[in-house]
Amino acid sequence: MSQDLWIALCVSLLGLITFLYRYSFVSSQGKKVAQRIPPSFLMLLGPATFTAIVINNLLASQKMTDFHLKGIVLCVSAFVAYFTKSIMATLAFGLIFLYYLQNTPF
Amino acid sequence: MNKQKFLTFLLGAQSTLPLIAGMLPFGMLYATLAGEAGFPPWLVIFTTIVVFGGSSQLVFIDLYQTLSSAFQAVLGANIVNARHLIYSAGVSSHFSSYPVKWRLILSYLLSDHLYSVSETHKKTIDSFSAELQPWFYFGSGVCTWVSWVLSAVVGVAFGQIIPKGWNLEFSIPLMFLPLIFMTAKNRYAYLTCLFAGALVVLFYKLPFGLGVLFSILLGSFLGFKVQKYGRQKK
């Protein structure tokens, strides 16, 4: 078996398990389990998930200078996000601000 | 498909469009890295279609390069994808009441983006009849799927020519930042964010992105307990 075909098989396994994760609580059996989870707990999952993704991405910065600059940009962008609630505005502001900081000699 | 279903489908797609801007560079980045890892173009696109999971695909490529074993890379990437269990629980109250055909399709399409839309557009979705609701999710899912696959195709073709100085990979945290404020409905939700954020830092060294999963669950649990305590006190 060629290496590419072996990788394709492994990828198919990854896809299958991912699908099962996604289907787990949607299935008839999973629904019964999901119904036992308090709705007020489920309400908190969204904000917790998005915060975890943001902070994890920041920590994944390869260089310390990147980490500091991205930290500053994220803090300032948080204000933009809070007041505008707009993905596009936050995205545009954050990317331009980071570009500016990286290309400005201090 | 009647007109009403089609309009609901379009509304679902439209509600997802703002999220797409952040996804395009991510898909291109993935395709570029996969190409650098020696994946032929067909395998890059195949992985995108079969897995349909942004960060897990990147982790898969990263682990494949460092461990030189596709099978071990699958195990690692699966742990990253375990957060889809949380998404599944989150959308369960809606999805599980749909016919099996819809449950299967929407489960495949359940990504960070579809989950985000389900959280931020709850009121809109609830205003639709049970028959129309799946069409909204379907529109959102198809919009995400097409964009993700297209971004990978563009990445395969043109990934190398995007200047690194544009920091496009930074689009991901920026894209999720407003979603925090859109889904946090009370002070307990903000407190949960603080818990989750602090826990990510604490658990960051855990392998295979397990820290993210633990932080979400433990952060939400702590927030839930404080909320329960706070409401009992009142």
pLDDT in tens, A3-12: 889 999 999 9
SS3 B2: coil
pLDDT at B44: 93
**Mean pLDDT rounded to a whole number for chain A:** 87
* CA separation for the pair A77, A73 (Å, rounded): 6
> What is the mean pLDDT of the segment spanning B130-152?
93
> Which residue would you say has higher pLDDT here, B164 or B104?
B104
> DSSP code of A88?
H
The predicted pLDDT at position B67 comes to 65
- Residue B160, chain A, CB below 8 Å: the answer is no
- The helix/strand/coil state of A65 is helix
In A44-103, the residues whose Cβ lies within 8 Å of chain B are 44-59, 70, 73-74, 77-78, 81-82, 84-88, 90-91, 94-95, 98-99, 102-103
Whether A82 and B86 lie within 8 Å, measured CB to CB:
no
Sign of CA dihedral B154, B159, B163, B167: positive
Average pLDDT over residues B126-137: 90
Mind listing the pLDDT tens digit for each residue in B173-194?
888 898 899 888 889 999 999 9
Q: Residue B122: its pLDDT value, please?
A: 84
Chain A to chain B Cβ contacts (< 8 Å): 253
Q: Does B149 touch chain A (CB under 8 A)?
A: no
- Asked if residue A68 has pLDDT above 70, the reply is yes
Domain residue spans of chain B? 3-164, 184-234
Residue B124's pLDDT band (cuts 50, 70, 90): confident
Q: Decide if pLDDT at A65 tops 70.
A: no
Are residues B227 and A40, on separate chains, in Cβ contact within 8 Å?
Answer: yes
Q: Which residue has the tokens 């509304």?
A: B11
Least confident of A7-16, A54-63, A80-89, B3-12: A54-63
A25: which chain B residues are within 8 Å (Cβ-Cβ)? 85, 88-89, 91-92, 96
- R_g over Cα of chain B: 19
Which is higher by pLDDT, A16 or B119? A16
Q: What percent of chain A has pLDDT over 90?
A: 40
Count H helices and E strands in chain A, helices first: 5, 0
Question: Of A62, A96, A54, whose CA–CA distance to A78 is shortest?
Answer: A54
Q: For B150-166, what is the mean pLDDT? A: 81
Query: How far does chain B reach from its first CA to its final CA, in angstroms?
Result: 50
Kindly state the average pLDDT of the residues A79-92: 88
Q: Which residue has the higher pLDDT, B147 or B212?
A: B147
Confidence check: pLDDT of B231 > 90 = no
Q: Which residue shows structure tokens 């964009």?
A: B147
pLDDT of B93 higher than 90: no
The mean predicted confidence, pLDDT, of chain B is: 86
Q: Is B54 on the interface with A (CB under 8 A)?
A: no
Q: Mean pLDDT throughout B45-50?
A: 94
